[in-house]
Amino acid sequence: MANDYEMVIGLEVHSELSTKTKIFCSCSTEFGGEPNTHTCPICMAMPGTLPVLNEKVVEYAVKAGLATNCEISKDSKNDRKNYFYPDTPRAYQISQFDKPLCEHGYIEIEDDKGNPKKIGITRIHIEDDAGKLNHNEFGGGSLVDLNRAGVPLIEIVSEPDLRSSGEVDRYLKKLKSILEYIEVSDCKMQEGSFRADVNVSVRKRGAAKFGTRTEMKNMSSFKAITRAIEYEADRQIGVIEDGGKIEQETLRWDDVSGRTFSMRDKEDAQDYRYFPEPDLVAIRLSEEYIENIKKNLPEMPESRRERYINDFKLSEKDAKLLTASKYLSNMFEAAERLCGNAKSVANWLLSDISRILNEKELEPDGIPFKAEHLAKLVELIDKGTISSAIGKKVVEELFENPKNPEEIIKEKGWIQISDESAIKEVVEKVIAANPQSVVDYKAGKDRAIGFLVGQAMKETKGKANPQMLNKMFIEELKK
Amino acid sequence: MDITNLTVHELQEKIKNKELSILDITKAYVERINEKEKEVKAFVTTTCDEAIEKAKKIEEKVESGELNSDFAGIPIGIKDNMCTKGVRTTCSSKMLENFVAPYNATVVEKLNDEGIISLGKLNMDEFAMGASTEYSYFKKTCNPWNLNAVPGGSSGGSAAAVAANLVPWALGSDTGGSIRQPASFCGVVGLKPTYGLVSRYGLVAFASSLDQIGPITKDVRDAAMLLNIIAGHDEKDTTSYDNPKKDYTKALKNDVKGLKIGIPKEYFGEGINEEVKKKLQEAIQIYKKLGAEVEEFSLDIAEYALATYYIIACAEASSNLGRFDGIRYGYRTENFSNLRELYRNSRSEGFGPEVKRRIILGTYVLSSGYYDAYYKKAQQVRTLVKKEFDKAFEKYDVLLTPTSPTVAFEIGTRSENPLEMYLADICTVSVNIAGLPGISVPCGVNSHNMPIGMQLIGNKFEEEKILNAAYTFEQEYKFRDKYKPTFSK
């Protein structure tokens, strides 16, 4: 990106709420299921049916608002957004237009230099998700599956405060982490339950006015969003530099070709004919209601981070990494409670386990084993039953075949050799095979011990107790 | 004894005294339908065979003690915009010609719980849009008082069926006068309850903020009884109020001494037929004689109510009728090659001209650039109308007006002129705009023996006052003893 330009990015994030039932009827919100099995006359928009607002949806949205420093509106309402599409059976979405539940919030991220930066949240409102169209999947034609129709969504609209793809990435991850922490959304991107519309424009650095923006809809991968923003900003700069004008339009990002394509321009912009939903009464929230939700908000990542630094003496960096994901953080706390070794649990989570997650392209909630397993692993090492080297192999195994590490090491024969006579036997054998190292050691080269221990570990396939080896080598060589 | 000429409370007496059996009653109505329906054409769908079967079952249930209801075995007719499981609900539209709802409207459930027997679904203007029932896709219902005249609308089938003794009573729905105006045209009683008193769940929506279901009956006592059955909070309709249950028949005191009746003079001005005015003046004299305090006053805002009504009702309708898209149920065109054509042709072919007219009007007033001038302004006027009524009810218990500016007009004389048709609602719409209860009771006939209706408007949830005022008048005037439909041509 040319240095004299900066990006201006605003996001509209749609996140499905994890309520058990839909927003306006009592159908299940469970993902999947045979087409049209999680439906009823209401979410199929049969004539004469009426919506009834699920109170949990309001509660969850208020939670999200409070967790993002929003003002909660005590006087809110639903509005109809009218448009024809077969995935929208009523021919209108029930959303919120001019009186959203939450407004004027912010979340804090780091800018590209690592300084704290507040990103404004314009508003959070509630609405219902649409159904799904299956094209040519069942013998040609298009078929409508309304299982998802009526699943509750919150739309979180940011101010155009983001200035780089890096900031966008951190904003989205932070937002996702917050929603997971307060347990209002599973944020499963692969199921489309956390997706973003990305508005991008560019302007000359120092310019007061924003440039014309383009919008990329329904993006549900962090990586794709970053690439798309980079591409789109470059494209816009190219157009401007060539003397052209940016058209306000909706684009589609194609991840395979790595390009954006025009979907529709401003001329085709739909008139949604918003008006107040007459089938629902206004949403009025009392001060006590809001206060009660505020009081019962779960602990947020910042506060956990502080606690990890103070109580467990973790480094700030480790505390931050652990608390970035509620799942990881919960696993850390659960394992720590069981084994009492916070440092070790944190190390395993942030080194080997995180590395494997990365390799497998999994989110922390993709860890297949339980906190008890991790705690057991740490205990086995602390008791000297296995070495850390074996520990690494146990972690690999836990990803393949999650079960009690005790069983794993028994089955694999990985129990550490701590029997003195057995160790002595190995030590003698290694000394006999490496006369040069003995000479080096006696000549004052202490490092030689490390080499010998390494050889002994190799000999025992990592099972010998390294402390005992160390001690016994010194004793033997001093003789 | 002509069973079908009895009111429901008279039928109840006869059942109680074992003068009539449940089966006798249903059979009598089936016979009456077989005889008169071809003249009146009140039904879209009759369910006579099912009704006889049901009557037998209900008789057994009553005998075995399984069912204990004062209304067990009483027949009814239901306007064809209330969903009935297993029996088609057409809204008198080609769009829903073969639509069978998978569920019952809440009011239908309530009727079933009482052991009330449906004789069928009654004709109406398509999607309840109209004032003459001429906009039905299926047939034009005739007024039993003059078969060349319209029965009013949109609940014209319901009112005509009650007037012609094809059903003892019926359910109608009222968005801008659709219960009261046909009741007035057909010489029967029609009550539009306070918005929120009766659940709308299962009523195919025309204008959600205005629609209410209500009774059309032979007399006021029957209206109070049917209201007893259908009123009440429904968790499926959050716009229904959670008020304590009332017995509305207890309000029928046959006494209006000291009742303060306000006469809004705007409802007696230009455009109101002279014979209608004369009968209303006579009614006012009767109230005075019975000891009511009658006073004329001005309800300025009334003249804006009609425009406000058509903006709000059409706006909501344009959105409510979006779901009829040919995708999941209802009429689908055979003539399409892409989605746009599927939508356009299904809706063009499935809806009649009046429905299309209102969808277009409603879409227009909600469009960006026009919203503020129309919809928003209309909502502001709506607030003013409510305030104006609030003020009136600080002084008066009930307001008295004509139900319709004219008596029933001849079939075909207005259906080509929508504006003239819209004027038929001028006396009734402000009641819906303000969410108030209103009742129409017959107060005489004109020189051609056509019934004239008087509208009594009450404050919110004060159905008791208008019921008692209507009842007291009815007891004094004895309309049913004096006049009868003639089925003349």
Question: Domain check: are A149 and A279 in the same one?
Answer: yes
For residue A1, pLDDT beyond 60: no
For residue B172, report the phi and psi dihedrals to the nearest 5 degrees.
-125, 180
Which two tokens mark B242? 């959670």
Task: Share the mean pLDDT of chain B.
Answer: 96
Q: Which of A51, A90, A281 comes nearest B323 by C-beta?
A: A90
For residue A196, pLDDT beyond 90: yes
Question: Domain check: are A277 and A309 in the same one?
Answer: no
For residue B310, pLDDT beyond 60: yes
Q: Please indicate, yes or no, if residue A428 is contained in any of the structural domains.
A: yes
SS3 A159: coil
Question: For residues B248 and B243, what is the distance between their CA atoms, to the nearest angstrom?
Answer: 13
Q: Please say which residue of A379, A412, A445 terminates a domain.
A: A412
Q: Please say which residue of A395, A412, A429 terminates a domain.
A: A412
For residue A362, pLDDT beyond 90: no
Q: Please indicate, yes or no, if residue A71 is contained in any of the structural domains.
A: yes
Predicted confidence at residue A140, as pLDDT, reads: 66
Predicted confidence at residue A190, as pLDDT, reads: 77
Q: Please indicate, yes or no, if residue A153 is contained in any of the structural domains.
A: yes
Q: In this structure, are residues A92 and A81 in contact, taking their beta carbons and an 8 Å threshold?
A: yes
What is the bridge-based pairing of β-strands A283-284 and A75-76? antiparallel
Question: Domain check: are A105 and A231 in the same one?
Answer: yes
Question: Domain check: are A264 and A119 in the same one?
Answer: yes
- Chain-chain contact of B368 with A271 (C-beta, under 8 angstroms): yes
User: pLDDT digits over B146-161, tens only?
Assistant: 999 999 999 999 999 9
For residue B464, report the phi and psi dihedrals to the nearest 5 degrees.
-55, -40
For residue A240, pLDDT beyond 80: yes
For residue A170, pLDDT beyond 80: yes
Total number of residues shown for chain A: 479
User: pLDDT digits over A176-187, tens only?
Assistant: 999 999 999 988
Predicted confidence at residue A324, as pLDDT, reads: 87
Domain that holds residue A79: 5-289
Query: How many percent of chain B have pLDDT more than 70?
Result: 100
Mean pLDDT across B11-21: 96
Mean pLDDT across B177-196: 98
Q: Is B178 a catalytic residue?
A: yes
- What is the pLDDT confidence band of residue A473, given thresholds at 50, 70 and 90? confident
Q: At what angle do helices A222-241 and A165-181 cross, to 10 degrees?
A: 150
Mean pLDDT across B394-406: 97
For residue A2, pLDDT beyond 90: no
Which two tokens mark A5? 């330009």
- Chain-chain contact of B89 with A52 (C-beta, under 8 angstroms): no
Q: Is B79 a catalytic residue?
A: yes
Q: In this structure, are residues A187 and A15 in contact, taking their beta carbons and an 8 Å threshold?
A: yes
Q: Please indicate, yes or no, if residue A123 is contained in any of the structural domains.
A: yes
Predicted confidence at residue A423, as pLDDT, reads: 83
DSSP characters over A297-366: PPPPHHHHHHHHHHHH---HHHHHHHHTSHHHHHHHHHHHHHH--HHHHHHHIIIIIHHHHHHHT--GGG
Question: Domain check: are A128 and A245 in the same one?
Answer: yes
Question: Domain check: are A188 and A108 in the same one?
Answer: yes
Q: Please indicate, yes or no, if residue A255 is contained in any of the structural domains.
A: yes
| Number of cross-chain residue pairs from A and B with Cβ atoms under 8 Å apart | 101
Q: Which of B209, B236, B366 comes nearest A278 by C-beta?
A: B209
For residue B419, report the phi and psi dihedrals to the nearest 5 degrees.
-60, -40
Q: How far is A143 from chain B (nearest CA, A)?
A: 10
Query: Does residue B331 or residue A451 have the better pLDDT?
Result: B331
Predicted confidence at residue A370, as pLDDT, reads: 93
Residues of A in contact with B315 (CB under 8 A): 275
- What is the model's pTM? 0.89
Q: How far is A273 from chain B (nearest CA, A)?
A: 5
For residue A276, pLDDT beyond 80: yes
Question: For residues A101 and B85, what is the distance between their CA atoms, to the nearest angstrom?
Answer: 38
- Chain-chain contact of A53 with B238 (C-beta, under 8 angstroms): yes
Predicted confidence at residue A262, as pLDDT, reads: 86
Q: Please indicate, yes or no, if residue A294 is contained in any of the structural domains.
A: no
Q: Is B184 a catalytic residue?
A: no
The one-letter amino acid at A207 = A
Question: Domain check: are A435 and A398 in the same one?
Answer: no
Q: How far is B11 from chain A (nearest CA, A)?
A: 32
For residue A24, pLDDT beyond 60: yes
CA A444 to chain centre: 53
Question: Domain check: are A102 and A140 in the same one?
Answer: yes
Query: Does residue A425 or residue B344 have the better pLDDT?
Result: B344
Question: Domain check: are A321 and A454 in the same one?
Answer: no
Question: Domain check: are A406 and A439 in the same one?
Answer: no
- What is the pLDDT confidence band of residue B443, given thresholds at 50, 70 and 90? very high
Candidates A36, A44, A50, A132: best to mutate against B (most CBs of B within 10 A) is A50
Which two tokens mark A198? 């990305």
Range in A74-78, A296-300, B256-260 with the lowest mean pLDDT: A296-300
Number of domains in chain A: 3
User: pLDDT digits over B331-346, tens only?
Assistant: 999 999 999 999 999 9
Q: Please say which residue of A412, A434, A468 terminates a domain.
A: A412
B200: nearest CA in chain A?
A48
For residue A287, pLDDT beyond 90: yes
Q: Please indicate, yes or no, if residue A295 is contained in any of the structural domains.
A: no
Question: For residues A332 and A281, what is the distance between their CA atoms, to the nearest angstrom?
Answer: 45
Mean pLDDT across A64-82: 97
Look up the ipTM and state it: 0.96
Mean pLDDT across B108-128: 98
Question: For residues A440 and A448, what is the distance between their CA atoms, to the nearest angstrom?
Answer: 6
Question: Domain check: are A113 and A193 in the same one?
Answer: yes
- Chain-chain contact of A91 with B319 (C-beta, under 8 angstroms): yes
For residue A467, pLDDT beyond 90: no
Question: Domain check: are A108 and A53 in the same one?
Answer: yes
B203: nearest CA in chain A?
A48
Q: Please indicate, yes or no, if residue A115 is contained in any of the structural domains.
A: yes
